[in-house]
């Protein structure tokens, strides 16, 4: 019976959760080896394992992690009260707010999290917390676009950029969050004008990931793209694919909207699962991830911006300069996500 049940669990896990690698969590709560906490993570092992190992060394709390690329919300819904998950780790504000809206997270009252994380980067009901930020940057070919030629996202709708811009799908969460922020600041009509203007200037049908847009700049397909900041770091230091260092070297890095609302940022973040069985350990883990030590690791390992003030940026990230970020509460960005995807359809952005 035990074996059958176990097999069934694995089958469900793989079907529903789209597992890339997997550690099956053991019993809840205390084990022979001490206390534990179970994590469902969309964030990748190379980043998360060192952080969790450091947490275990510091606290003695063992961390079990299920890594996945999709299906987290559906799995938590299916597991309900029987879930073994205590903590979720993910990127993107829309994913965190979807978990909250599905009633899968719980409120956490923590002085440490309140002190370390700025208010606009955490949920007003304390159900999710940002752990890092990433700027959605404009990058341009440094020889073809002069310094100061692009100051705002809105400048990309100008006639001079016709046929010169590349982006990934308008429906990718990173872009949806940017469009949502424009709706939140300027309203739906202005956001539509922006999106149709941007679409009119695209060099090709939206395709590929953020790095593929930089490759296209390098290859002369376009001169301007919109990408997340940490990809610059990943390309600049990519020893496995050294051609990406050349792509990076061709770029001028632009922080848009410095003279007004600031550059749009998205987040990676975490929450405590509603039916967590190891709640205290879950809160301890979140507090650790918001600590100086963990924040420094995020900054160094993945070229992200720490959310905690005073934590040093990596040298490479610092080389792009400091900037003013858009401090509109991210809950307001998430609230406009549906309107944003409707606009993408309306202007035919991806076609
Ligand atoms: Fe990414």
Write the pLDDT tens digit of every residue in 32-57.
Answer: 445 999 999 999 999 999 999 999 99
The CA 126 to ligand 1 mean position distance, Å, reads: 24
Q: What is the pLDDT of residue 18?
A: 47
The CA 130 to ligand 1 mean position distance, Å, reads: 15
pLDDT average, residue stretch 200-209: 98
The CA 60 to ligand 1 mean position distance, Å, reads: 31
Following CA atoms 298, 303, 305, 307 in sequence, which dihedral angle do they give, to the nearest 10 degrees? -10
- Residue 119 in tokens: 């208010």
Write the pLDDT tens digit of every residue in 131-182.
Answer: 999 999 999 999 999 999 999 999 999 999 999 999 999 999 999 999 999 9
Classify 136-264+321-346 by CATH class. alpha beta
User: Can you tell me whether residue 93 is helix, strand or coil?
Assistant: helix
pLDDT of 17 above 80: no
Q: What is the pLDDT of residue 21?
A: 38
CA 44 → CA 86, 287, 298, 317, distances in Å? 18, 20, 12, 20
DSSP letter at 31?
A: B
Phi, psi angle pair for 159, to nearest 5°: -60, -30
The CA 79 to ligand 1 mean position distance, Å, reads: 27
pLDDT average, residue stretch 315-320: 96
Residue % of the chain over a pLDDT of 70: 90
Band of residue 5 on the pLDDT scale cut at 50, 70, 90 = very low
**Backbone Cα Rg of the chain:** 21
H helices of 71-137, in order, are 72-79, 93-101, 111-116
Q: What is the CATH number of domain 2-132+266-309?
A: 3.40.190.10
The CA 129 to ligand 1 mean position distance, Å, reads: 18
Write the pLDDT tens digit of every residue in 294-304.
Answer: 999 999 999 99
The CA 26 to ligand 1 mean position distance, Å, reads: 30
Write the pLDDT tens digit of every residue in 67-97.
Answer: 999 999 999 999 999 999 999 999 999 999 9
Q: What is the pLDDT of residue 28?
A: 46
The CA 277 to ligand 1 mean position distance, Å, reads: 30
User: How far apart, in whole angstroms, are the C-alpha atoms of residue 351 and residue 345?
Assistant: 9
The CA 11 to ligand 1 mean position distance, Å, reads: 28
Q: Are residues 122 and 128 in contact, defined by beta-carbon separation less than 8 angstroms?
A: yes
Which residues of the chain are in CATH 3.40.190.10 domains?
Answer: 2-132+266-309, 136-264+321-346
The model carries a pTM of 0.89
Q: Are residues 347 and 199 in contact, defined by beta-carbon separation less than 8 angstroms?
A: yes
As a 3-state breakdown, the chain gives helix, strand, coil percent values, each rounded to 5, of 45, 20, 35
Buried b (16+ CB within 10 A) or exposed e, 69-87: eebbbebbeebeeebbbbb
Tokens 């999106």 appear where? Answer: 195
- Residue 321 in tokens: 């300069």
Q: What is the pLDDT of residue 187?
A: 98
Write the pLDDT tens digit of every residue in 277-287.
Answer: 999 999 999 99
Tokens 């956001």 appear where? Answer: 191
pLDDT average, residue stretch 184-198: 98
Mean pLDDT of the chain: 92
Q: What is the pLDDT of residue 339?
A: 98
Band of residue 10 on the pLDDT scale cut at 50, 70, 90 = very low
The CA 229 to ligand 1 mean position distance, Å, reads: 9
Phi, psi angle pair for 262, to nearest 5°: 100, 165
Band of residue 15 on the pLDDT scale cut at 50, 70, 90 = very low
């Amino acid at each position: 019976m035990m074996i059958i049940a176990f097999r069934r669990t694995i089958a469900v896990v793989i079907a529903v959760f789209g597992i890339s690698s997997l550690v099956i969590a053991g019993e809840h709560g205390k084990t022979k080896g001490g206390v534990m906490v179970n994590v469902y993570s969309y964030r990748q092992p190379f980043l998360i394992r060192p952080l969790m190992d450091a947490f275990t060394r510091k606290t003695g709390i063992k961390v079990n992690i299920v890594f996945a690329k999709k299906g987290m919300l559906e799995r938590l819904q299916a597991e309900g009260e029987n879930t073994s998950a205590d903590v979720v780790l993910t990127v993107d504000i829309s994913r965190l707010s979807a978990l909250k809206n599905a009633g899968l997270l719980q409120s956490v009252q923590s002085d440490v999290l309140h002190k370390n994380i700025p208010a606009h980067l955490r949920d007003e009901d304390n159900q999710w917390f940002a752990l890092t930020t990433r700027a959605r940057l404009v990058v341009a070919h440094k020889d073809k676009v002069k310094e100061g030629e692009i100051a705002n996202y809105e400048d990309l709708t100008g006639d001079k950029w016709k046929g010169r811009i590349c982006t990934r799908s308008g429906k990718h969460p990173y872009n949806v969050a940017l469009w949502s922020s424009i709706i939140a600041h300027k309203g739906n009509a202005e956001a539509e004008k922006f999106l149709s203007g941007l679409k009119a200037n695209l060099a090709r049908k939206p395709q590929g990931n953020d790095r593929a847009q930089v490759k296209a700049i390098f290859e002369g397909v376009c001169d301007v793209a919109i990408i997340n900041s940490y990809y610059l770091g990943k390309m600049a230091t990519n020893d496995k694919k050294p051609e990406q260092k050349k792509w990076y070297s061709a770029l001028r890095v632009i922080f848009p909207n410095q003279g007004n609302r600031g550059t749009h940022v998205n987040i990676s973040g975490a929450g405590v699962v509603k039916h967590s069985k190891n709640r205290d350990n879950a809160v301890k883990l979140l507090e650790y991830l918001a600590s100086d030590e963990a924040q420094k690791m995020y900054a160094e390992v993945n070229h992200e911006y720490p959310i905690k003030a005073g934590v040093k940026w990596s040298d490479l990230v610092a080389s792009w300069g400091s900037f003013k970020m858009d401090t509109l509460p991210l809950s307001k960005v998430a609230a406009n996500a549906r309107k944003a995807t409707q606009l993408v359809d309306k202007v035919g952005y991806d076609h």
